[in-house]
């Protein structure tokens, strides 16, 4: 979700910076190859901090928009720290446990918190519009063909972060 979101943001004209952990190396490398700025966060120290990232990449004491695709509480907290006053946070990662956030900080900073699951009609129309332009979203760069007879292998490879988006080509089944 994070990789695709960064491509959509760039297609919309945004300057994009994507952060990830060392386990996200394949995803970060793929985005870097597409000329999207990437930063690996040290799992042990949390460096570079949100403040350091803002100082390096943001122009108004924080990012205008932060997209959290992690699905973990710390991801939302980091997004709050990195978003400028009056900015927007979009949460697309789905947490498996309840998340506590500092509402006072959001209110005082007038940060707009939104969620998205890509399942409202307007999202589909926007996605279709982007896909009409073959250069807008370099889909071929983020998908990895996988054997449709071995879907578990594709899923396992994704879980191990060895692939960005596995693609099972079911047309291939008809040729077998």
- Report, in angstroms and rounded to the nearest whole number, the Rg of the chain calculated over CA atoms: 18
Q: Environment class of residue 96 by beta-carbon count within 10 Å: exposed (0-12), middle (13-18) or buried (19+)?
A: exposed
User: What length is written for the chain?
Assistant: 176
Q: Is the peptide bond before 55 cis (omega within 30 degrees of 0)?
A: no
What is the structure's pLDDT at 73?
A: 87
Q: Given this model, what pLDDT does residue 117 score? A: 83
Task: Determine how β-strand 37-40 pairs with β-strand 17-20.
Answer: parallel
Residue spans of beta strands (DSSP E) within the chain: 17-20, 37-40, 63-68, 83-91, 112-115, 143-146, 165-168
Q: Which residues of the chain have pLDDT under 70?
A: 175-176
C-alpha 37/C-alpha 18 separation (Å) is 6
Q: Which residue has tokens 């578990």?
A: 152
User: How far is it, in rounded angstroms, from Cα 20 to Cα 3?
Assistant: 11
Q: Which residues make beta-bridge pairs with 19?
A: 39
Distance CA 165, CA 142 (A): 6
- What is the pTM for the complete model shown? 0.82
Residue-level pLDDT at 29 = 93
**Domains defined for the chain, CATH in brackets:** 2-137 (3.40.50.720), 139-176 (no CATH)
* Phi, psi (degrees; rounded to nearest 5) at 76: -65, -40
């Amino acid at each position: 979700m994070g990789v695709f979101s960064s491509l959509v943001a760039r297609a919309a004209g945004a300057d994009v910076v994507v952060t990830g952990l060392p386990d996200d190396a394949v995803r970060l490398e793929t985005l870097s190859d597409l000329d999207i700025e990437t930063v690996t966060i040290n799992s042990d120290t949390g460096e570079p901090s949100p403040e350091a990232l803002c100082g390096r990449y943001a122009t108004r004491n924080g990012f205008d928009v932060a997209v959290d695709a992690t699905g973990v509480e710390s991801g939302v907290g980091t997004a709050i720290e990195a978003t400028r006053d009056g900015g927007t946070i979009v949460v697309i990662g789905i947490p498996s446990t309840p998340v506590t956030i500092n509402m006072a900080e959001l209110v005082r900073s007038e940060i707009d918190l939104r969620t998205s699951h890509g399942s409202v009609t307007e999202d589909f129309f926007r996605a279709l519009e982007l896909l009409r332009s073959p250069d807008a979203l370099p889909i071929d760069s983020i998908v990895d063909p996988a054997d449709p007879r071995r879907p578990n292998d594709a899923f396992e490879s994704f879980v191990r972060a060895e692939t960005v988006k596995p693609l099972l080509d079911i047309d291939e089944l008809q040729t077998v």
